[in-house]
Structure 1
Amino acid sequence: MDLNVEIKGEGYPILCLHGHPGSSTSMSVFTNYFSREYQTLAPDLRGYGKSRARENFEMKDHLHDLQILLDKYQIDRCLLLGWSLGGILALELALADPDRFSGLILIASAARPLSSHPAVSWQDLLFTGVGGIVNYVLPGWQWNIDTFGKRSLFRYLLAEQTPAAYQYLAKEGVPAYLQTSAAASKALNRAIGEGYNRLADLEKIEIPCLVLAGESDRHITVDSSRETARHLKYCHWKSYPHAHLFPWEIPQLVLTDIEQWLRFHPEVHKFGVRSL
């Protein structure tokens, strides 16, 4: 599939992969910052954003699409950055074609993703719907956050529930949700139902890795992210006292930590350098 992709900047390429629901736009917190020094490529995965899917597909089709995308832009080697589902796909790419990737950054993701999300009630759905609509019209309105947001499903995605995070939700989260196809949801649910687990294969990844997680994450628990970090040979680990969407709550801290890791590992973003 010919994916829609947003390309910014010049320099060493970073392939930025969004989560579910998500789109290329929802990766702007990373692409706007790193495109000042690197070339960022943020595709809409099959069935997301503008990469429309009319038929059902499997998770493995995402990998095929991404390999075709890199071939199309003649990218022989790049850095991987994936958030949530995007991190799982980044792991799969690194395992499938290790010589093509120089480093791996996982955001709120895991090789054996476990959830601690409680059952969803009708009140959760009601408050989420009302709060989401109001926030779309008036992004970051504190009254709406206090009245509906903190009683909605957003309380499992955001720990501090700041107006800035709600602005991201309005500008990038809601459009991504509305553009996520039923086929994409089915593909993900099938993979989850089959019990996805790649921990045993992580020893094959021999590139520098950075794993960042939220201590309050209910969608992919901090323990499952930590477990992934422990199975990666060359990995730096850090967690924050936040939830699944922590890059939208503490963007500057997350970006600074990634940048420091990049400075410490110049081999992951220099052309022609392939070893530790």
Structure 2
Amino acid sequence: MNCTGDLWADVTVPGSIRWPLAERSVARQVTELLDGLPERFVIAGLSLGGVIAMETALAAPDRVAGLCVMSVNGRATTAVQHEAWRAWRDRLAAGGTPAELQREILPSLVPTAVRGGRPDLVDRVLGMGAQTTADRLDAQLAQQLSRRPLLDRLAALDLPTLVVSGTADPICPPVFHDEIATAVRGARLVSVDAGHLPPLERPDVVRAVLDTWLAEVAGGQRQR
């Protein structure tokens, strides 16, 4: 949420599509993806994008050749989360900006130990918030409010699945990824020394993991 295509810029593989999250419910976003994507595809997503990726795989498992999720939560959303999301929708309606949100949550996006030595990373993260429109962020907040619990439905999936966890992610800690990897049969869990945004913070590691996994998916291999 509140990110742009720059999130994936350093790890994007040839032929990939970076799809914006612009619909106002998870269900509508999934429908838009399935209407616009090729008949067969690999899907990856981070945070809210990871939720959308899992829901897409559940909606059309015969079309999804592989599923990759990062920095994601499969649990039911909470009253505290709903209150925060609604408060931000109210702030946007009153003139608040996505850039303000990004600056406020920066400590949760980039680990404290990293921020001081990575001004480039901080600038890119803040830049994504500055480049996101209020309408786009409001749509994403509406998607958050429409989420359904995933964990009890993931056992229905039987496809190559990669789960990437940032070891220093305070928003979606490693235990969330353990749960998802356990729920999806045969899923591979990879831990990266990073916070909530591994593709930006550790693109070298994430790209290597993705390249290896995608080669296995293309070759019909699957580690169990």
TM bucket (normalised to shorter chain) is 0.7 to 0.9
User: What corresponds to 1:90 in structure 2?
Assistant: 53
Matched, 1:180 2:136: yes
User: 2:2 touches 2:128 (CA, 8 Å); kept in 1?
Assistant: no
Task: Provide the secondary structure at the position in 2 that maps to 1:99.
Answer: coil
Give how far 1:247 is off: 1.8
TM-score (norm 2): 0.77
Aligned-pair identity (%): 22
State how 1:134-213 maps to structure 2 within 5 Å.
Answer: 153-159=105-111, 160-161=114-115, 162-176=118-132, 178=134, 180-191=136-147, 196-213=148-165
User: What corresponds to 1:53 in structure 2?
Assistant: none
User: 1:114 touches 1:221 (CA, 8 Å); kept in 2?
Assistant: no
Matched, 1:238 2:190: yes
User: What corresponds to 1:141 in structure 2?
Assistant: none
Distance 1:179 1:165, change over 3 A: farther
Which one of the candidate residues 74, 78, 81 is aligned to 1:111?
74
Matched, 1:102 2:65: yes
Distance 1:87 1:183, change over 3 A: closer
If asked which structure has higher relative contact order (CA below 8 Å, sep 6+), I would say 2
Matched, 1:41 2:17: yes
Of the structure 1 ranges 177-186 and 223-232, higher mean CA displacement relative to structure 2 is found in 177-186
User: 2:75 touches 2:150 (CA, 8 Å); kept in 1?
Assistant: yes
User: 2:109 touches 2:196 (CA, 8 Å); kept in 1?
Assistant: yes
Give how far 1:225 is off: 1.4
Of the structure 1 ranges 162-171 and 229-238, higher mean CA displacement relative to structure 2 is found in 162-171
Which one of the candidate residues 24, 34, 39 is aligned to 1:76?
39
Question: What's the C-alpha RMSD, in Å, of the aligned pairs?
Answer: 3.1
User: 2:168 touches 2:194 (CA, 8 Å); kept in 1?
Assistant: yes
User: 2:21 touches 2:49 (CA, 8 Å); kept in 1?
Assistant: no
Q: How many residue pairs end up in the alignment?
A: 202
1:104 and 1:69 map into 2 onto residues whose CA distance is 17
User: What corresponds to 2:3 in structure 1?
Assistant: 22
1:82 and 1:217 map into 2 onto residues whose CA distance is 16
User: Larger % of helix: which?
Assistant: 2
TM-score (norm 1): 0.64
User: What corresponds to 2:89 in structure 1?
Assistant: none
User: 2:11 touches 2:206 (CA, 8 Å); kept in 1?
Assistant: no
User: 1:212 touches 1:237 (CA, 8 Å); kept in 2?
Assistant: yes
Amino acid at match of 1:96: A
Which one of the candidate residues 9, 22, 27 is aligned to 1:60?
27
Task: Provide the secondary structure at the position in 2 that maps to 1:40.
Answer: coil
User: What corresponds to 1:259 in structure 2?
Assistant: 211
User: What corresponds to 1:17 in structure 2?
Assistant: none
